[in-house]
Each structure stands twice: as C-alpha cells, then as structure tokens.
Structure 1
Amino acid sequence: MITTACSVKETIEPLDNNVLNQPFETNNEFETLKGVYEKNNQPMVVNLWATWCTPCLEEMPHFETAHREHSEKITFIGINISDSPTRAKKRAEELQISYLLGNDPDGSFTKSLKVIGLPVTAFFNTEGKLSTIHQGPISKENLQKSIMELLDV
C-alpha cells in the first residue's frame, strides 16, 4: 500500500542508478529514463503520482507551469504508479498536463527509487544521474529552487 509521505528533500548517496534502466510505459511503448536522457541530453524532473493521491494532483499544475517555462532545458516526466493508463490519462487531460506521461505497470520503476509514499519527485542532473529525491508534496517555490539548482543558475 502506498501512503502520502511527509515533505523531505534527500540528497541521494549511493542509490542504485539502475533506476535509469527501469522501464516505464508511455503511449503503449516501453521507455527508460536512460533512453529519454539520451534523446534529449538534458536534466530530468520525474514525478511519481497516482489519481487517488490528492497532494499529487495539487502539485501537478506546478510541474506543468515549470515544464512550459523550462522545456527547452529540462525534461519533465510524470509516472503514474498505480492506475490504469486510461484513468491516468483522463486525469492528466483534466489537469491539462502536456509533459511526458508514463505508467509503471509492474512497479519496478517505483521499487528502484525505493518509494515509500506519494508524491515523490526525482531530479536527474546534466549527466543523467540521480541527484536529489523529494519525498512528499513539493511547493511551487521549492520546485523552482530545485530546477535552478539543476540548471546551475
């Protein structure tokens, strides 16, 4: 069972960067963060969410705003961890989300990040390496601050 976590920002020490190779499903195809990074060659912000997670739904518009402001410099990805792709897509459409969305059908992606609650946001640096994980809801201000750190601004 997944529960809502408290807000904690953690610097990742030797967390298994195997997360880059864990598949997630998008548009009926499987993708990996490594593949996305290699295509775009830019930092990534990956948000794990679910339709039943109220804090997740509340922060998604912040990610959308950040995506619109920084899409040329940062890749934003939202990965739904528990809902059917149809239900997740419907909710994302209701929220007018335009960044890349995926699903974690077998839970391997979620397990590789050692998720204990939702929402969770993972930040990957310019080298494609996991640099920070934010457990719990992230405010618009903290998201912007983390993005500036990724961009080294």
Structure 2
Amino acid sequence: MATMLTDSDLDGSQVTLPAVRQETDRPMVVNLWASWCPPCRREMPMLEKAQQERDDVAFVFVNQGESVDAVETFLQRESLSLDHLYRDPNMAFGRKVGAMAMPTTLYYNGDGQLVDTHFGELSRATLDRSLERFDP
C-alpha cells in the first residue's frame, strides 16, 4: 500500500493504514473528516449505514486535527457508531494523500492500491457507484 502513515486511534495507540488493511483483509473506503466540517457531518450517517450494510468493504474514518474530546463529543451528539475510527492529529495523513479539502474519500482495492479518490461530500449514489468496483 502506498500510504505508510501512522494514525492515532482514540485510545492513543499508534496504527498504520497497511496494518488496518491487513487486519480487515478487504478493500477499504478511507474517509478523512472533521466535526467542524458541514459536508462531513452530513455524509457521516450515510457512511455509517454503508459500513453496516457492506461487510465486504472496510470503512475507515480518519479525523483530521481534532482532539479525542472533540471526536467523542461529536460521535455521542450524533449517535454514531463507527468501526476503524482513528485520529490524524497533525493532519499528516491528509497532506500525504493530497487531501486539500474535507471530506475526502479514498478507495483502496483488496491489494491495498489506491483506485479512486473523491473530494467533497458524497451522496449515497456516488458512494455506491464507487463501491461497484469492489463487487465480484
């Protein structure tokens, strides 16, 4: 996998995107987001639902630059339950992948190769169209 960045999960442990990929052994949708970003907030419930519906794809949520408290407050307030939730406190991951705006969504195939990128808010139709490349 091209991106070898370390992100910090909410308990402070260090993880790498390749380690998440290896753990899940599935294609990945990686969403870069922040709680202060209106489009991020709007798309998050749809992404949570897609995460619940698609067990053949790992959804990874990488918060950009916010504190643990800010992330936890947002998740509680919005009643969101997200798997594979990590923080990128210095936004190094976002810089590495060229994310100039949020939200940014990255699609990695089963081999860990970046196959698509979407800048801006996702609709369910756009997400579904991008996920078709992972269908057998």
Give the structure-1-normalised TM-score: 0.82
**Does structure 2 retain, via aligned residues, the 8 Å contact 1:61–1:97?**
no
1:74 to 32, 57, 60: 57
How far the C-alpha of 1:102 sits from its partner, in A, is 0.8
**Does structure 1 retain, via aligned residues, the 8 Å contact 2:94–2:100?**
no
Question: Are residue 141 (structure 1) and residue 125 (structure 2) matched?
Answer: yes
Q: Give the alignment of 1:126-137 within 5 angstroms.
A: 126-137=110-121
User: Greater RCO between the two (CA within 8 Å, min separation 6)?
Assistant: 1
How far the C-alpha of 1:28 sits from its partner, in A, is 1.3
Question: Are residue 57 (structure 1) and residue 47 (structure 2) matched?
Answer: no
How far the C-alpha of 1:82 sits from its partner, in A, is 1.9
How far the C-alpha of 1:106 sits from its partner, in A, is 2.2
Matched pairs, number = 134
How far the C-alpha of 1:75 sits from its partner, in A, is 0.7
In 1: Cα distance, 2:37 partner to 2:81 partner: 16
In 1: Cα distance, 2:5 partner to 2:131 partner: 23
Distance of aligned partners of 1:128 and 1:18 in 2 relative to their CA distance in 1, 3 Å threshold: closer
2:14 to 30, 37, 45: 30
In 1: Cα distance, 2:135 partner to 2:20 partner: 18
How far the C-alpha of 1:113 sits from its partner, in A, is 0.8
1:84 to 59, 63, 67: 67
1:94 to 77, 83, 98: 77
Gaps of at least 5 residues in structure 1 are 1-16
